[in-house]
């Protein structure tokens, strides 16, 4: 089964499909005041986060367990700020 990112589309926070660039990762909506959606691509260890105010960023070389902890966190935004924001290289998509 192919991931949405492999097919060239991704899910928006509203659940619709949208054309994507090759670099885009399939994201799932999250409940957060600062983050709209989060996705992870395990082969490249790329964590992709869509922020409400600043757009989409990819965090590079993020181990899968960090993504799992982020998605299980009581506060996605607080976990991101404490554990990911300054710990991994990132690029704006």
pLDDT at 21: 45
pLDDT band per the 50, 70, 90 thresholds, residue 24: confident
State phi, psi for 48 to the nearest 5 degrees. -115, 130
Residue 30 has pLDDT above 60, yes or no: yes
Q: pLDDT tens across 33-87, in order?
A: 999 999 999 999 999 999 999 999 999 999 999 999 999 999 999 999 999 999 9
pLDDT at 23: 62
Residue 19 has pLDDT above 60, yes or no: no
Q: Domains in the chain: how many in total?
A: 1
Residue 15 structural domain: 4-92
Residue among 20, 13, 89 nearest 3 (CA): 20
Q: Which helix (H) or strand (E) holds 69?
A: helix 64-72
């Amino acid at each position: 089964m192919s991931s949405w990112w492999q097919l060239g589309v991704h899910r928006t926070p509203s659940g619709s499909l949208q054309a994507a660039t090759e670099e885009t990762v399939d994201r799932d909506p999250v409940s957060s005041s600062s983050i709209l959606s989060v996705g992870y691509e395990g082969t490249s260890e790329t964590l992709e986060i869509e922020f409400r105010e600043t757009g989409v960023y990819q965090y590079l070389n993020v181990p899968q367990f960090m993504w799992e902890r982020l998605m299980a966190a009581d506060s996605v935004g607080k976990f991101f700020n404490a554990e990911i924001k300054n710990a991994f290289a990132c690029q704006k998509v």
